[in-house]
Amino acid sequence: MGLALLAVIWIITFVSTYFFIWHPWWLPAGASAAAAAIDHQFNNTYIAMGIVFVLAQCCLGLFVWQYRDRGSNSAPVSYSHGNTTMEIVWTVLTAVLFVGLNLMGSQIWAAERFDPAGPSALPVEVTGMQFAWYFRYAGPDGKFGLTNPKLMDPSSGSEAAIGLDTSDPAAKDDVVTGTMFLPVNRQVDLTLRAVDVIHSFFVPNMRFKQDAVPGLAIHMHFTPTQIGDYEIACAELCGLGHYKMHGMLKVVSQEDFDKWMAAREAEKQ
Amino acid sequence: MATSEVVHAHAAPQGFIRKYIFSLDHKVIGIQYFFLALTAVWVGMILSLFMRIHLIWPNADIPLIGHIQPETYLSLLTMHGTIMVFFVLTTAPQGGFGNYFLPIQIGAPDMAFPVLNMLSFWTTFVAFVIMLAAFFVTGGAPLHGWTGYPPLSAVQSTGPGEGLGADLWITSIAIFCAASLMGALNFITTTLDLRAKGMTLMRMPLTVWSWLITAILGLLAFGVLLSAGILMLMDRNLGTSFFLPVIVVNGQLMAHKGGSPLLWQHLFWFFGHPEVYIAILPGMGVASQVLSTFSRKPIFGYRAMVYAMLAIGFLGFMVWGHHMFMSGMSPYSAFAFSLLTMAIGVPSAIKTFNWLGTIHGGRVRFYTPMLFAIGFVSLFVSGGLSGPFLAQPALDIPLHDTYFVVGHFHLIMGVAAIFGIFAATYYWFPKMFGRMMNEGMGKVHFWLTFIGTYAIFMPMHYLGMAGHPRRYSQLTELAYLHPLIPVQRFMTYAAFVTIGAQLIFVVNLFWSMFKGQKAADNPWDATTLEWTTATPPPHDNFGGHTPVVTHGPYEYGVPGAARDFIMQNDPTPSTAH
Amino acid sequence: MSTVAPNFAVKDPRAGDAGGGAPPSFGGGGDGDSGGNGGFDYGERLRRARLGLVLGLTAVIMLFVGFTSALLVRKGLPSFDAQTNTYSRDWVAINLPWTLLLVNTAVLLFSSLTMEFARRGIARQAALAPVKSIPGVTLGDEKPFPWLGSTVILGLGFLAGQLLVWRILHERHFFVNTGPSSSFAYLLFATHALHLAGGVIALLYAASTSWLLHKPVEAQRIVVDITAWYWHFMALLWIYILVLLMIVR
């Protein structure tokens, strides 16, 4: 039985580890400025945890086999209530490992979240509602117009869905779309809002996630660095349509973005 | 045996109702809790079976249920989580085994407040009935997840099931809070006040420590959950705006304003994080107990184990924000919570090292309880090590609300804690029912469950890393999920096998109760006080002879002793280190 | 009752706090017997009941900690107003009938006084019970003042006063959903009142233990003692609630 336990524990350990190394299913390709640092920290963590995982499981398997009761052939039990020195040693080592990992990761968190977006960032407002995402661009005046919950009409889509108050002059040039376009290599200053329940704006390739909470307008930023199409998923349970509340982020060249914006502005006339 | 003669505090009851229904005997109440939890776990498992079937075959017609709609999937998910966390993990380890064995392990004839004990069980039972009733009302069970975030949970029109079903859900939880508080009060008073002579705090078995600390956590945490539940009932039914800002639901502007959805999250998780330690600490106590018994060695580092559990309990109240890194909470708070969360990993690691240290140098006997205790350690390591990923907010950005989290908490709560319950069942069954469980069936149950649960929950980590969000009723809409469906299919097949294997356990349990081999008073040659008394124990636990404790709880393999174990009330002098 | 014990000292240096948590001698057998009542140690049971009460009150405190933190957060919280694109605070203070509240407070504090007299009265009776069982011995004062009954009446008076507060708030157009300050006021008052009503029921039970259930006076004393401390806690909790509502006004 001891041998069986050792075998099964070791096999489970090695199979799991194998998948972590071979990774047929893994973090998707990073396409934002933050991705490299996050992925690097991820690697550090999973190597450290991986080593601990393998060592702990292999020790467990080894010990239950090595110290199995062999009847009269067994050595006497080594009666002991513990070893204070070892306790101190492995407590300190564990603390250093965990706190160290945490402090390394904290630097990335600080870089991503402690400071607001830069002055040349593109402001985009993201509004989540059951069960769609809308994106608003401020237009040439650079200001977002007012919205009014009383004017919201989700069934008509676009401007009315987010309750754009067209009597506000700043709202006249706002562009509301169901697909998000961003220019590559430019920081975007997102304002996240939600109309009804909590949603979460999640773009795996951008290593970006942020809850959109009713009653709050949350500012967050990221910088896309690769041109391409990226799926947006909702990452906070929002009702029966949560699984199909997805959108599309298209990262294009600055040129293409300007052309697209111009076309949208033209449509509004 | 060192004992002192004593007068019975109350005589054994007569009559079926006083003996088995409204019994004041902690042993009967413990068994009642156990069977409540057993019922609840089967309800919870069936719900998860339907969930797994729906994910792979979304258009299937299931017998008795029909076609599962997306909202039904979410109701299954909500009730699965709620029933498992509350009515299984907060009930069986503490209310079940704690109730049965705490008094006996400390040498007491019953709990401090037997009437309160009986009330706490029946209140839990009422809460369970109300929870199940949510399935049968108009609109069905709520779909907002066991975490119940508003506004989804606080407004009746956000989805099917958010009407009466959600009100019943909150009411059930509120009643459960009251029941838990009653139980916690009883456990703490009993442990502090009813210990037999010689049973000092540092001679208590680690199971007793775990029940004590769990009770303290419960005493402090459930009151806050109750407050949150009351506020939510008010928002839902009285038009208040504790959690609700201005919102437009289904095109309708609601009358609420100014409230904060984050307030619920703070209150809920202030309870929720200690709750998960409530779920695991008794399992840790049982693991220590069983590993020591079947390695024939004292637990390695008893004091460190006690301090580690105290540290886990204490720090457990300071880390709730790690569930909220993405919530819109201040990033500076996130940094603080993250540091404390990493800190709580340290005592958990100490316990793991000490479990390994207990086996090291021992003479391991592979009875079924020991297999589950060994499995507990393996699963605790696996589930625990995904914690440091989630504890770092920068890594939580890709991983939050994905299957990575689902894998993490299932390995720890849904498997390791359950293994603690299994270990306790196989270990204490002989004492409770006077018969042995079948070893062969026990071993088959262990192997299928151990391998099966790894097969179900380990792949979830890969899915999470690939960005697979959780709580998705269907995997058909997002293109990047399509390559992950084969993994989900594998998990579903593993779930079929694993859930089926639990039938072996149920058959073994009931068959052994009536036909199992009769058990001796101390079939495992164990040292703690429950093994000194008759099997099953008499009404006052010790037949009028309260034990006097002279030894620590894990005196196995003492050099020079007559046998390879010394019981806690053995009158020969202790040759302590 | 003899005690079989090892006749040598048992040294266990690992027993850190030897005797930590008084090792109870179960059910009498000569130790700590308050005498005269079937071997029960009422002193021990009283201590145990008081410990249970302290723990129960801890849970009640945590309930109000939850409410308090919700109140403080909600008071300070700005909410995003989409119509002006800014964050604004919407706290409008409730207009509480302070005079009536102070009268109610006086009633409650007075009831704590009567409760305390009841508690001490029955403690004395319990202490003297063994003496009373000696044939031929009587101690005057056979009809003590009904402090317990007075407390019940004052408690009910307080609850009636709270209903009046509720009515006045309605007249002033402050309903439970009028705004956050109202919601919290109603919540705190109602939760306190419910807990106090529970205390009144406990008092009625305590009163009934003597003439209805014929329990020995020592057992009654435990019920009255626990209810008394609970009652005093309710008074303190009330003062806390008033101060809190005053601060956040």
Q: Do A95 and A152 share a structural domain?
A: no
Quote the strand ranges of B79-193, DSSP E: none
pLDDT at A72 over 90: no
Q: What is the DSSP string of B57-85?
A: -TT-EETTTEEPPHHHHHHHHHHHHHIII
Which of C14, C79, C85 lies at the smallest CB-CB distance from A144?
C85
Q: Tell me what pLDDT residue C8 has.
A: 25
Q: Do A249 and A135 share a structural domain?
A: yes
Q: Do A63 and A37 share a structural domain?
A: yes
Tell me how far CA of residue B497 lies from CA of B10, B321, B492, C107, in angstroms: 48, 37, 9, 66
pLDDT at C214 over 80: no
Tell me how far CA of residue B94 lies from CA of B84, B207, B209, B282, B452, in angstroms: 14, 10, 12, 7, 26
Q: What is the mean pLDDT of residues B89-101?
A: 95
Which chain A residue's Cα is nearest to C84?
A146
The residue range of the domain holding A16 is 2-67+86-113
Q: Do A29 and A131 share a structural domain?
A: no
- Work out the pLDDT band at B575, boundaries 50, 70, 90: low
Q: How many CA within 13 A on the CB side of residue C26?
A: 31
Domain ranges in chain B are 25-199
- CB proximity B550 to C under 8 Å: yes
Which of B144, B251, B346 lies at the smallest CB-CB distance from A155?
B251
pLDDT tens for each residue of B435-453? 999 999 999 999 999 999 9
- Work out the pLDDT band at C142, boundaries 50, 70, 90: low
Residue B75 · residue B140 · CB < 8 Å: yes
Q: Do A168 and A94 share a structural domain?
A: no
CB–CB contacts below 8 A, B to C: 201
Comparing B330 with C137, which gets the higher pLDDT?
B330
- CB proximity C82 to A under 8 Å: yes
Provide the domain count of chain A.
2
- Work out the pLDDT band at C18, boundaries 50, 70, 90: very low
Q: Does the predicted interface ipTM exceed a cut of 0.85?
A: yes
Mean pLDDT of chain C: 81
Partners of A191 in the β-ladder: A125, A219
pLDDT at C140 over 80: no
A45-49, A148-152, B322-326: range with lowest mean pLDDT: A148-152
Q: Tell me what pLDDT residue C88 has.
A: 79
Candidates C3, C12, C85, C181: best to mutate against B (most CBs of B within 10 A) is C12
pLDDT tens for each residue of C77-110? 887 776 677 787 878 888 899 999 999 999 999 9
Mean pLDDT of chain B: 94
C106 vs C108: CA distance, rounded Å:
5
Q: Do A205 and A97 share a structural domain?
A: no
Comparing C188 with B12, which gets the higher pLDDT?
C188
pLDDT tens for each residue of B112-163? 999 999 999 999 999 999 999 999 999 999 999 999 999 999 999 988 889 9
Q: Do A261 and A137 share a structural domain?
A: yes
Partners of B364 in the β-ladder: A68
The DSSP bridge pattern shows strands A175-177 and A132-137 to be antiparallel
Q: Please choose, from the candidates B412, B404, B390, the residue with its C-alpha nearest in 3D space to the C-alpha of residue B487.
A: B404
B91 vs B30: CA distance, rounded Å:
10
pLDDT tens for each residue of B496-547? 999 999 999 999 999 999 999 999 999 999 999 999 999 999 999 999 889 9
pLDDT at C3 over 60: no
pLDDT at C10 over 50: no
Token pair 């057993």 is found at: B38
Q: Do A105 and A126 share a structural domain?
A: no
Domain membership of residue A78 (yes or no) is no
Q: Tell me what pLDDT residue C37 has.
A: 42
B46-55, B267-276, B398-407, C172-181: range with lowest mean pLDDT: C172-181
pLDDT at B10 over 70: no
Tell me if C82 and A144 make a contact (CB, 8 A cut-off).
no
DSSP B165: H
Tell me if C62 and B246 make a contact (CB, 8 A cut-off).
no
Q: What is the DSSP string of A155-184?
A: GG-HHHHTTB-TTSGGGTT-EEESSEEEET
Q: Do A102 and A131 share a structural domain?
A: no
> In this structure, what are the phi and psi dihedrals at residue A189, rounded to the nearest 5 degrees?
-100, 100
Q: Please choose, from the candidates B249, B326, B72, B57, the residue with its C-alpha nearest in 3D space to the C-alpha of residue A131.
A: B249
Tell me if C183 and B223 make a contact (CB, 8 A cut-off).
no
Q: Tell me what pLDDT residue C212 has.
A: 67
- Maximum alpha-carbon separation in chain A: 94
pLDDT at C20 over 70: no
Domain membership of residue A6 (yes or no) is yes
Q: Do A127 and A197 share a structural domain?
A: yes
SS3 of residue B364 by DSSP: strand
Token pair 């930590």 is found at: C20
Q: Is C194 exposed, middle or buried (0-12, 13-18, 19+ CB in 10 A)?
A: exposed
pLDDT tens for each residue of B292-322? 999 999 999 999 999 999 999 999 999 999 9
Q: Tell me what pLDDT residue C167 has.
A: 95
Q: Please choose, from the candidates C152, A7, C175, A197, the residue with its C-alpha nearest in 3D space to the C-alpha of residue B158.
A: A197
- CB proximity C79 to A under 8 Å: yes
The first and second tokens of residue C157, run together, are: 């008076």
pLDDT tens for each residue of B18-39? 788 899 999 999 999 999 999 9
CB within 8 Å of B500: residues ≥ 6 apart: none
- Per CB-CB distance under 8 Å, the chain C contacts of B113 are 52
- Cα-Cα-Cα-Cα torsion B280, B286, B287, B292, nearest 10 degrees, comes to 160
- Work out the pLDDT band at A194, boundaries 50, 70, 90: very high
Q: Tell me what pLDDT residue B3 has.
A: 43
Q: Do A212 and A140 share a structural domain?
A: yes
Which chain B residue's Cα is nearest to C178?
B240
A197 vs A132: CA distance, rounded Å:
12
B260 vs B262: CA distance, rounded Å:
5
pLDDT at C15 over 50: no
Tell me if A146 and C80 make a contact (CB, 8 A cut-off).
no
Which of B371, B469, B487 lies at the smallest CB-CB distance from A202?
B469
pLDDT at B375 over 90: yes
pLDDT tens for each residue of A93-136? 999 999 999 999 999 999 989 989 999 999 999 999 999 999 99
- Per CB-CB distance under 8 Å, the chain B contacts of C77 are 258, 260, 263
Q: What is the mean pLDDT of residues C199-224?
A: 83
Which of A81, A148, A216 lies at the smallest CB-CB distance from C80?
A216
- CB proximity B339 to A under 8 Å: yes
pLDDT tens for each residue of B214-248? 999 999 999 999 999 999 999 999 999 999 999 99
Q: Please choose, from the candidates B183, B186, B194, the residue with its C-alpha nearest in 3D space to the C-alpha of residue B109.
A: B194
Domain ranges in chain C are 42-247
CATH class (in words) of the domain with range C42-247: mainly alpha
- Per CB-CB distance under 8 Å, the chain A contacts of B475 are 243
Q: Do A247 and A154 share a structural domain?
A: yes
- CB proximity B448 to A under 8 Å: no
pLDDT at C31 over 80: no
Q: Tell me what pLDDT residue C158 has.
A: 96
Rounded to the nearest angstrom, the gap between the alpha carbon of residue B69 and the centroid of all alpha carbons in its chain is 30
Residue B173 · residue B123 · CB < 8 Å: no
- Per CB-CB distance under 8 Å, the chain C contacts of A170 are none
